Amino acid sequence: MSIAVPQTLNKALEPFLIIVGSLMVSMVLFGIFVASAGADPFEVYQTMYRAAFGTSFSWQNTLIRAAPLMLTALCTALPGYLGLIIIGGEGAVVMGGLFAAVAALTMPTAPPMVVLTTMAVVGMVAGGLWLTIGGALRHYRAVNETISSLLLNYIAIAVLNHLVTSTFRDPESLNHPSTHHIGEANMIGVIPGTDLHWGLVFGIVACVMTWFLMHHTVFGFASQIAGGNVRAAQIAGLPVGRLILIICFVAGAAGGLAGMVEVAAIHGRANDTLNANYGYAGILVAFVARNNPLAIIPVAVLLGGIRASSGLLQRAHELPDATVLVMQGIIFLVILFSETLYGRFSKLQKQGAS
C-alpha cells in the first residue's frame, strides 16, 4: 500500500529528473568545450540566456524559430505512435511551401483571407500526400519508411528546384530562382501587439490537437494498440493500413503547414530557402520529446532559444556562429543517451524503499 504512492510519483518524476539531469550534464560538457576555446562558460551562459529568453524581443526571436520546429516535429512524432520512424519532414515542408505558393499565384484577384485559407489547405494536402507515400510504401510493399522518407526529401528538393527554375520561375529572380511573390496583401500578419507571425499559434494548436487526438480519442487508442503490436491489432480487427495512411497524412500535413507559413509569413515566395533543415531539426525535437505532442512545445522553444542566441554569442564572445550547433549536438547526444537510464533509475528507488 505504501509503495503505490511513490511509484506513481516515480512515473511522472522519472522523465523530468532524467531530462533535467541530462541538460545539466550537457551544460557541463559544453562549458568545458567553450572554456577550452578560451571563453568564460558562465558568461557564455549568461549571454545565451539573455539572447534567448532575457527580453521580450529575444523571446520573440526564440518563438519565431520554435514555431516551424513544433510542426516538423509532428512529422516524426505522430508516425512514432505506430512504431514507424519517418524522417521525411523536410520533404513535407518543401512540398507544402511550393504548392501553397503555386496555389496563391493561381488566384491573383481573390481576397487575402481566401488566398491564405487555400494556401493552408493546399500546403497541408501536398505535405500530407508526400509523407503518405512513405507510409503507403511501408504498408503495401514493406519498403522501409525511414529510408523511403529520406529519399523522398531529396526528390522533393529536386522537384522544388526544378519548378522554381523553370515552370514557375519569376524572371526577375536572377541570382536566386524563386516563384513570383504571392503579393504583400496576402502575407500572414503578426499577432496583435507583437512581432510574432501566426505560425506560432498554428504550431501550438497543432501540437495540442494531435495530443488530444492520440490520447483522448478512439482513433488514437487504436493507433497506440497498432504501434504496440501490429499482429494483435490486426487480430482485433483494427484497420492497420488505414491507420498508417491517416497518421502519415496528418503528420505530413503539419509539415506542409510549416512550409506554407514559411512562404506566407516570411519569404513571400517559394525557393530553396524552404529547405532550411527545419525538417531534420524537427526529428530531434520529436525524439527528445519522446514523441509526446505536448512535450514537443517546450523542446521546440528550447531549441529555438539556442538557435536565437547565435548572433549575440558571436558578438559578445567572438565565438563562431557554429557554437550553437555544437551545443545543440551535445544536448541531443546526451538526452538520447539518457534514454538508457529509464527503468534503471526507478528500480534503484524501489530497492531503496523496500
Partner 1 sequence: MEVGWWGVLIAVLGGAIRIGTPFLFVSLGECLTEKSGRINLGLEGTLVMGAMTGYAVSLHSGSPWLGVLCAGLAGMVLGALHSWLCSFRRVNDIAVGIAMMLFGTGLAFFLGKPYIQPSAPRLPSIDLGAWSDIPQLKAALQINALFLMGIVVAIALAWMLKNTAWGLKVRVVGESADAARALGLPVDRIRILSTAQGGFLAGIGGSYLSLYYPFNWSEGLSSGQGLMAVALVIFARWHPVGCLWVSLLWGGAAALGPSLQSVGITGGYYIFNAIPYIMTLAVMIITCSPKRTLVGVPHELTVTR
Residue in 213, 217, 243 with CA at minimum distance from that of residue 228: 243
174 binds partner 1 (CB under 8 A): no
Angle between helices 218-228 and 240-261 (to 10 degrees): 110
- Among residue numbers 217 through 276, which ones bind partner 1 (CB under 8 A)? none
Query: How far apart are alpha carbons 2 and 354 in whole angstroms?
Result: 10
CB-based contact 85:104 (threshold 8 Å): no
Taking residues 282 to 311 in sequence order and writing x for each that binds partner 1 by CB under 8 A, - otherwise, the string is -xx--x------------------------
Query: How far apart are alpha carbons 305 and 17 in whole angstroms?
Result: 21
By CB under 8 A, name the one of 18, 155, 191, 225 that touches partner 1.
Answer: 155
Residue in 17, 58, 98, 23 with CA at minimum distance from that of residue 309: 58
DSSP result, 21-41: HHHHHHHHHHHHHHHHTT--H
148 binds partner 1 (CB under 8 A): yes
**Nearest approach, Cβ of residue 38 and partner 1 (Å):** 12
Q: Which residues contact 318 (CB under 8 A, 6 or more apart)?
A: 39
Q: Between 186 and 275, whose beta carbon lies closer to partner 1?
A: 275
Angle in degrees, CA 254, 214, 205, rounded to 5: 45
351 binds partner 1 (CB under 8 A): no
Query: How far apart are alpha carbons 135 and 139 in whole angstroms?
Result: 6
Candidate ranges 39-47, 102-110, 223-231, 339-347; the one touching partner 1 (CB under 8 A): 339-347
By CB under 8 A, name the one of 10, 118, 165, 173 that touches partner 1.
Answer: 165
332 binds partner 1 (CB under 8 A): yes
Q: All 3 cell numbers of residue 219?
A: 482513433
25 binds partner 1 (CB under 8 A): no
Q: Between 261 and 288, whose beta carbon lies closer to partner 1?
A: 288
32 binds partner 1 (CB under 8 A): no
**Nearest approach, Cβ of residue 115 and partner 1 (Å):** 28
Candidate ranges 20-28, 206-214, 261-269, 317-325; the one touching partner 1 (CB under 8 A): 317-325
Binding site for partner 1 (CB under 8 A): 37, 85, 87, 137, 140-144, 146-148, 150-152, 154-155, 158-159, 161-162, 165-166, 280-281, 283-284, 287, 319-330, 332-333, 336-337, 339-340, 342
